[in-house]
Amino acid sequence: MEGLLKSSVVKSIVFSSFDEFGPMPKYMFPNPVSEKDQKESSEQVFTIRDYTQISIKNLSLLIEDQVTTSDENFAKLKYFAVIPYPDFNITALTFFHFIKIQGKENPIPTAFAIMVDENKRSFLYNNISTIQTIIFDLFIKFDDDIAKGFKPLEQIKHHFTELMEKIVKMEKDPIVPITSERKLKIVYLGLDSAGKTSFLLTVDRKYSRLIGLKPTRGANISTIESLGATISLWDLGGQAKFRERYLSKSKIYLYEADLLFFFIDVKENNRFDESIEYLKNIKERLDQFDQKTPIICILTKADPDIINSRKIQKNINKITSKIRELDLNETIEIHVTSIFSIFSILRAFSSGISRLSPNRDLLNHNLKGFSEKNKLFLTLILTADGLVLSDYYTKGYLLFREFLEFEDYAGETKEFEERKIRDVFEISAPQFAIIYKIFSKFKALKKEEAIFKISYSVILLKRTILSGNEIFILILIDDEDKKDEINASLEDFITRNKDLLLRYIS
């Protein structure tokens, strides 16, 4: 094992569990050294105290903001997160899950961390899906092995050796070189005039350039720096002659894409089949590369003045079912947008970016716990650009809507049920518009905290700085008197989750 670790980017691995004595490191590689040996060592080595500190930090991320759920559901909770440990100059990919052990009443929270040097963390991001699969495989066997109780290190060691063998093998055949920065490739695809360049410019806030937009000739690659990562945006002009080129040279255009946005103009129902054909061809290429690139479908040009019209609603339904036919596993996310509703574009873009975050699920889990505990209706964590890093909303939130009547849904047939789900977007749209307006106002105020009243509800806004990045928390409550209590609990939440935000995508 020591040899494997020496030949790998991975410096150390630790499995911790939360037992009667609190968070404890159970299995550690390499073996912890004494404090004296640590002082004398020229390399970085960990003492039992270091490993314990890492275990405490890991497990507190999982268990502090407990979401109300039954034991069986606990067993289903599995999360990955990339977490920094600045004290040790390391970053870890950590796997959290609960293990059922015979004789113990409750499933035991555990954390398993694979640690690399801080400046080599791109290794974790770039190989994340492969490493995740390796870890999943390990714990299927491991959980079985310890179902009757934890075993001595010698009897359990082979699981971890196997994992390291697989990782070392993977490193010999690197997909992407290890750099100190994560590089991401996002590709925009769709027929000509679908609205790709407009979407991109709206995200980029270059409104003035929206007027007199020319068709994109071939690939237009731009780079943005966001959340510590370099993101290259490939805007692939959609005229037929270009489309053929992307498909035949998919090794250049689609290979290694981290995320794909596919655009369809909702007004052009006579081009739906052509669009679907293109999407199908793209999916085939991705499958050839064995690439599990997330696809976000953007239904564009659903402008506020026409979105509720019969025709547009019919078109949305039609294209949605065509996409679903193509994608039986429903991995493709569908968003409805308009350049006249910036928030619709930011929501869709945020949703895509969040797919690139290994920390998204754990962050959402913790935000849910925090929001439930404080009985909040809506909680958003935003960047200064308005990107939503994490969100939580309840049905109660919809009661705040001041624009529509609930009675429409008196008859709860299945059809109504489905319509209701899709309508959540449309119903909440006007409120999001207000929320974004308030958010922009607050940003301009340059204050740390502010309260805005909108009829019967109160929006509480807070600004915080994480390693030089501004982060905003937006909370919707029904009663201003709850403010102090929420504030206290929020401080706590931010402190505990700041590392998940810090390593959101890079």
Ligand X SMILES: Nc1nc2c(ncn2[C@@H]2O[C@H](COP(=O)(O)OP(=O)(O)OP(=O)(O)O)[C@@H](O)[C@H]2O)c(=O)[nH]1
Stretch that binds ligand X, among 5-13, 174-182, 194-202, 325-333 (CB under 6 A): 194-202
Burial class (CB in 10 A: 0-12, 13-18, 19+), 196: buried
Main-chain dihedrals φ then ψ at residue 368, nearest 5 degrees: -65, -45
Determine if 335 is a binding residue for ligand X (CB under 6 A): no
Residue number with CB closer to ligand X (107 or 237): 237
Report the partner that residue 183 touches, choosing among Mg ion, ligand X, none (CB closer than 5 to 8 A by kind). Answer: none
Name residues whose C-beta falls within 8 Å of residue 420's C-beta, 6 or more positions apart in sequence.
Answer: 409
How far is residue 499's CA from residue 381's CA, in Å, rounded to a whole number?
14
Residue number with CB closer to Mg ion (197 or 341): 197
Count CB-CB contacts under 10 A for residue 200: 21
Pairing of strands 229-236, 183-190: parallel
Residue number with CB closer to Mg ion (133 or 222): 222
Stretch that binds ligand X, among 195-203, 222-230, 313-321, 410-418 (CB under 6 A): 195-203
**DSSP class of residue 46?**
-
How far is residue 346's CA from residue 360's CA, in Å, rounded to a whole number?
17
Q: Of 58, 216, 379, 497, which lies in the binding site for ligand X, with binding defined by CB under 6 A?
A: 216
Pick from 138, 87, 93, 80: which is nearest to 120 by CA? 93
Name residues whose C-beta falls within 8 Å of residue 157's C-beta, 6 or more positions apart in sequence.
Answer: 1, 27
Measured from the CB of residue 190, what is the shortest distance to ligand X in angstroms? 6
Report the partner that residue 303 touches, choosing among Mg ion, ligand X, none (CB closer than 5 to 8 A by kind). Answer: ligand X
Report the partner that residue 107 touches, choosing among Mg ion, ligand X, none (CB closer than 5 to 8 A by kind). Answer: none
Beta bridge partners of 297: 262, 334
How far is residue 318's CA from residue 303's CA, in Å, rounded to a whole number?
18
Name residues whose C-beta falls within 8 Å of residue 222's C-beta, 6 or more positions apart in sequence.
Answer: 200, 232, 233, 235
Tell me the three state secondary structure of residue 406: helix
Determine if 195 is a binding residue for ligand X (CB under 6 A): yes
Report the partner that residue 84 touches, choosing among ligand X, Mg ion, none (CB closer than 5 to 8 A by kind). Answer: none
Count residues binding ligand X (CB under 6 A).
20
Residue number with CB closer to ligand X (267 or 420): 267
Measured from the CB of residue 373, what is the shortest distance to ligand X in angstroms? 39
Q: Of 202, 216, 293, 359, which lies in the binding site for Mg ion, with binding defined by CB under 5 A?
A: 216
Determine if 293 is a binding residue for ligand X (CB under 6 A): no
CB 339 within 8 A of CB 195: yes
Determine if 194 is a binding residue for ligand X (CB under 6 A): yes
Burial class (CB in 10 A: 0-12, 13-18, 19+), 374: middle
Report the partner that residue 198 touches, choosing among Mg ion, ligand X, none (CB closer than 5 to 8 A by kind). Answer: ligand X
Report the partner that residue 275 touches, choosing among ligand X, Mg ion, none (CB closer than 5 to 8 A by kind). Answer: none
Determine if 315 is a binding residue for ligand X (CB under 6 A): no
Determine if 198 is a binding residue for ligand X (CB under 6 A): yes
Q: 452-475 burial, b if ≥16 CB within 10 A, otherwise e?
A: beeeebbbbbbbbeeeeeebbbbb
How far is residue 463's CA from residue 470's CA, in Å, rounded to a whole number?
7
State the first-to-last Cα distance of the chain, in angstroms, to the nearest integer: 29
Measured from the CB of residue 127, what is the shortest distance to ligand X in angstroms? 33
Measured from the CB of residue 28, what is the shortest distance to ligand X in angstroms? 53
Measured from the CB of residue 261, what is the shortest distance to Mg ion in angstroms? 12
Report the partner that residue 335 touches, choosing among Mg ion, ligand X, none (CB closer than 5 to 8 A by kind). Answer: none
CB 479 within 8 A of CB 458: yes
CA dihedral (80, 86, 91, 94) in degrees, to 10, reads: -30
Residue number with CB closer to ligand X (197 or 366): 197
Q: Of 16, 250, 293, 300, which lies in the binding site for ligand X, with binding defined by CB under 6 A?
A: 300
Residue number with CB closer to ligand X (82 or 346): 346
Measured from the CB of residue 13, what is the shortest distance to Mg ion in angstroms? 46
Residue number with CB closer to Mg ion (167 or 282): 282
CA dihedral (399, 400, 405, 406) in degrees, to 10, reads: -10
Stretch that binds ligand X, among 86-94, 119-127, 131-139, 193-201 (CB under 6 A): 193-201
Q: Of 23, 190, 358, 386, which lies in the binding site for ligand X, with binding defined by CB under 6 A?
A: 190
Measured from the CB of residue 42, what is the shortest distance to Mg ion in angstroms? 56
Determine if 218 is a binding residue for ligand X (CB under 6 A): no
Q: Of 12, 94, 197, 390, which lies in the binding site for Mg ion, with binding defined by CB under 5 A?
A: 197
Chain centroid to CA 494: 17
Where along the sequence are the contacts to ligand X (CB under 6 A)? Answer: 190, 192-198, 213, 215-216, 237-239, 263, 300-301, 303, 338-339
Where along the sequence are the contacts to Mg ion (CB under 5 A)? Answer: 196-197, 216
